[in-house]
Structure 1
Amino acid sequence: MNPTPSALHYPDVVSRSANSNSKQAASNYAAGLKMASLFSEHVLLYPFDVLRRQIQVNNEAVKYHLSPVSVFPVLFKISSQGPAALWKGVLTSLAYNGLVVATDNFLQDLIPVKKSKHNRTQQLRRVVRNIAVRTTAYLIVSPIYYIMLIESVQSVSASDGNLLDGIRDTLIRFVPYSSTITGGRSKMLPIWQILIPAVGLMTGRFICEKILYKIILPTLNAIQEADRYRKRKQRRTAQLSMDDDYEFEENVLLFETTYASLIARIAAGFFGQVLFYPVETIVHRLHVQGVRAIIDNTDTGVGVLPINSSIYYTDFWSCFKSIEETEGSSGLYKGIGCVLLKFSLLYGGMLLAHGVAKKFVIDNKPAIPTSPSVTTTTSTTTRPTWRHEPTTTITTESGQW
């Protein structure tokens, strides 16, 4: 006896509704994870950048903090001064990064790429244009970087704010030296002597991160594709519908590609920081030379001390040789433990967020509601083949189909 129409169920409609909600959740996840990554890197974990810069410019520091183990005690003691001691200069840092991106986008639209018949030539021109544009953006926004650096190393317990001093010192570097203008700060290098190393550092790190990103991302995508292929075979073995499998694969692909892109960016940023860390140490020393800055004691985390003004660096290479002679080769890597700890926490946070979101959105995908009391079959002998009526196959409690 054929079941009445009222007893039939329509799983395709329910499945599409559930998959639509799942797709929306996957889209929200992708946007949320990107925002969480940027917020964690530039705001939440910003105190590690503050401590790293203070260690880099402290040429009298005994503890180099080459491992993450020694970073937490010092950071905890500095935090007793209040949140301002850990997040000093964070607004200027956000302004600097935002201006770099905005200037880059403006110049990208202003300078089009000349078309070519050859794809390789077209790609090469695009790469050269991108590097030139980003270098110009760093050059234009470099004064903001100097102000951000001075703000982040100045101890809050010895100053009530250093924004105006940073702006004044930046303007002083653009004019010829004079005792009436510099106020006795004769050791401050002019802007053109520190501009080339600073912009070279930013551009070199940008190129390095782009190359590493292009290498790491395809590797992660290949690993994830192999895992998706294995899961796809398992789902087909479970005899899931084609539409449901397509929607499921689409959501998983959005999850995995977003996660792979963020992890590749984090890994590229980490290796870029480590490879150019000695150059960054030298650039920061040149920036703060001659500035009357009081920094936190990075050896103990208690008290403050002035930046040593007895050492004078005339240029990039004299600073490099001075660090090699007085502090050793490891002096170029002072504070690198902050970088290791920051990116470890950043990766761990993204891994945890991805796992939790995937567990609730993908793994707990809503099941198709069915009624265990009804078993419906389709007979080709009693029903015409041209009638497309929804059919449902249900497993009963006895386990029979």
Structure 2
Amino acid sequence: MAGLDDYQFFSTLREKDNPFWQKTADDKEQPTDTMEHFRRPTEFPENLLNPAKASPNPPPPKPQTPKINELEIQKVQDVQMEKYGELSINIVSLCAQNLLSHPFIVVRRQCQVDINSYRYHILPITLVPALIHIQSFQGFSAFWKGLGSVLTVRGMTLGVEDCLSKFTPWPKEISPHSSLKTIGQHLLLKCSALALVTPFYSASLVETVQSEIASEKPGVLDVFKEGLTRLLSFTQPQTGRMLPVWLLIVPTVTHGVLQYIIGNAVSTLTSQVLRRYHRQDQHKQGAVSKDNGSFLDASVRLQSAFVGHMAADVILYPLETILHRLHMQGTRTIIDSLDVGYEVKPILTRYEGFFDCLNTTLQDEGIFGLFKGFGALCIQYALYGAVLKFAQVIIQEVTLALVPPKPKPKVQDPVTPLAPSAPYTPISSVHPGVASLHSSPLHPSRPPYGSSPSGKRPLAYASPGRRQDVDLRAELEKHKSSLTLDD
């Protein structure tokens, strides 16, 4: 690099076509008294052959792509798989609640509205012969009737709640920390939605329990037509025994709100118990995770919701029986008899209201008349819980199979500490002759060979002891004399 400055200088002059002793206008403008012109370049030029053609502004450095850590990629994949597992278990729960449970809802409602049956079907085993006979004569479609109307009513309920929450200050959802005013407004929203959907619920109930072999199949829009007809008739009809809507609104809204309150209360309590159980299980294993994961949260939430729905249906089953009988009065509906599964029966009742229906049922059928068809409810939730648990196990196993196992950190084996060495043993204790090698030839404790100061047996070797003051000059003379005598 010694001649690099001269090279640049002469190459620049050659391009300008001027001899080096002539100054150009550019050279005159540059100050000559500064040392900047004579400094050695700090960077190697980009174009050594022709530095003038080098770009004055170097290109900006290319942005370096950040290196993605493998652990972060693994965490993202785990979160995605947990989300897929949560979505799958939610879909399975939704299908089991609305599709798989519908045949048992049909059987339960048929038992509830049949006031002349002599079999109450409180236990599931009594339902098996009747269900086999109905399936053999009418097919499996007899257990899926009214499915579209049931889903329509549930969708209408959600839609009405959404619309009311937008046009009113009533909240659609609440939290455990909500005030009493907010909870009251939320319950008022539920009551209003249930009151508006009550006529359509009656039409859906008729489609669910009527016999297919003795009645015409309902159309897709019949639920809306029958519901609007009952909604517009606010007073008692002149002909027939059909109850007006205003008599049905109060028991329907009461049943719906109580089912909502009991279900949420039991679900919240069950969720707390399950989370505490999982926490104690983790304590026993010795590792408590801060984040339980979305799949575990979804499983706990679905299990608690399942227990809440089951508790609400069991507690409110007598109220549901009275409610369905009031809705079916005056509809001229023919149902399948579940005593043997071969016959059909018309619904002929004459109740004045809720309490009249309750008293009549207790007098004619007894206390067990309020629990007709309870065996179908048992089969419904038993099958629902089994499917939910089976799907949870399968989805969890598939998730674990798709996610690669995390490598275990290498833990070095603990090094065994060295055993303490034996205490130092003097050389004299090993062999007395070895200790004499370390003693000085001028050691005073070493008597001449064959003599002993005490007259006893001569000691061949003496152990090294504390060294005493010796006249070195006399010892040296004595040693020289002994050497001379040897020669």
Distance 1:286 1:254, change over 3 A: same
Confirm whether residue 218 of structure 1 aligns to residue 275 of structure 2: no
Aligned twin of 1:282: 322
- Shift in Å, 1:75: 2.6
Which segments of structure 1 move beyond 6 Å, counting only runs of 4 or more?
A: none
Distance 1:230 1:160, change over 3 A: same
- Shift in Å, 1:70: 2.2
What letter matches 1:301 in structure 2?
G
* Maintained 8 Å contact 2:211/2:336: yes
Confirm whether residue 321 of structure 1 aligns to residue 359 of structure 2: yes
Confirm whether residue 31 of structure 1 aligns to residue 77 of structure 2: no
SS where residue 295 of structure 1 aligns?
strand
Residue correspondences, number: 340
Aligned twin of 1:192: 246
Among the aligned pairs, what percent are the same residue?
Answer: 26
What letter matches 1:206 in structure 2?
Y
Query: Hey, what's the Cα distance between the residues in 2 that align with 1:110 and 1:188?
Result: 33
* Maintained 8 Å contact 1:77/1:301: yes
Confirm whether residue 227 of structure 1 aligns to residue 265 of structure 2: no
SS where residue 233 of structure 1 aligns?
coil
Deviations 1:248-291 (A, max 9, x none): x74x5222211111111111111111111111101111111122
Residue 257 (structure 2) aligned to one of 187, 192, 203: 203
* Maintained 8 Å contact 2:93/2:388: yes
Deviations 1:334-391 (A, max 9, x none): 0111111111111111111112222232477523579xxxxxxxxxxxxxxxxxxxxx
SS where residue 117 of structure 2 aligns?
coil
Aligned twin of 1:359: 397
Deviates more, 1:352-361 or 1:35-44: 352-361
Query: Hey, what's the Cα distance between the residues in 1 that align with 2:306 and 2:294?
Result: 18
Deviations 1:144-171 (A, max 9, x none): 1111100001011111224549844862
Query: Hey, what's the Cα distance between the residues in 2 that align with 1:269 and 1:178?
Result: 36
Residue 271 (structure 1) aligned to one of 311, 315, 320: 311
The within-5 A match list for 1:16-165 is 16-80=72-136, 81-112=138-169, 123-162=179-218, 164=222
Distance 1:214 1:51, change over 3 A: same
Confirm whether residue 306 of structure 1 aligns to residue 346 of structure 2: yes
Residue 388 (structure 2) aligned to one of 350, 355, 363: 350
* Maintained 8 Å contact 1:113/1:125: no
Query: Hey, what's the Cα distance between the residues in 2 that align with 1:357 and 1:313?
Result: 50
Aligned twin of 2:8: none
Query: Hey, what's the Cα distance between the residues in 2 that align with 1:206 and 1:178?
Result: 32
SS where residue 335 of structure 2 aligns?
strand
Deviations 1:276-330 (A, max 9, x none): 11111011111111221110111112232222x2x42111111111111111100
- Shift in Å, 1:394: 8.3
Gaps of 5+ in 1: 1-11, 235-245, 371-391, 397-401
What letter matches 2:388 in structure 1?
M
Distance 1:229 1:329, change over 3 A: same
Deviations 1:58-106 (A, max 9, x none): 0011111112222333233323313331111111111111111222233
Relative contact order, CA 8 A, sep 6+: which one is greater?
A: 1
What letter matches 1:196 in structure 2?
V
Confirm whether residue 340 of structure 1 aligns to residue 398 of structure 2: no
* Maintained 8 Å contact 2:243/2:326: yes
Q: TM-score, normalised by structure 2?
A: 0.64
What letter matches 2:354 in structure 1?
F
* Maintained 8 Å contact 1:131/1:207: no
SS where residue 293 of structure 2 aligns?
helix
Distance 1:161 1:354, change over 3 A: same
Deviations 1:40-70 (A, max 9, x none): 1111220000010000000011111112222
* Maintained 8 Å contact 1:150/1:166: no
- Shift in Å, 1:177: 4.8
Q: TM-score, normalised by structure 1?
A: 0.77
The within-5 A match list for 1:170-189 is 171=229, 174=233, 176-177=235-236, 182=239, 186-189=240-243
Distance 1:166 1:158, change over 3 A: farther
Confirm whether residue 294 of structure 1 aligns to residue 350 of structure 2: no
What letter matches 1:197 in structure 2?
P
Deviations 1:213-266 (A, max 9, x none): 2221111111122223444539xxxxxxxxxxx7xx74x522221111111111
Query: Hey, what's the Cα distance between the residues in 2 that align with 1:262 and 1:120?
Result: 18
Aligned twin of 2:16: none
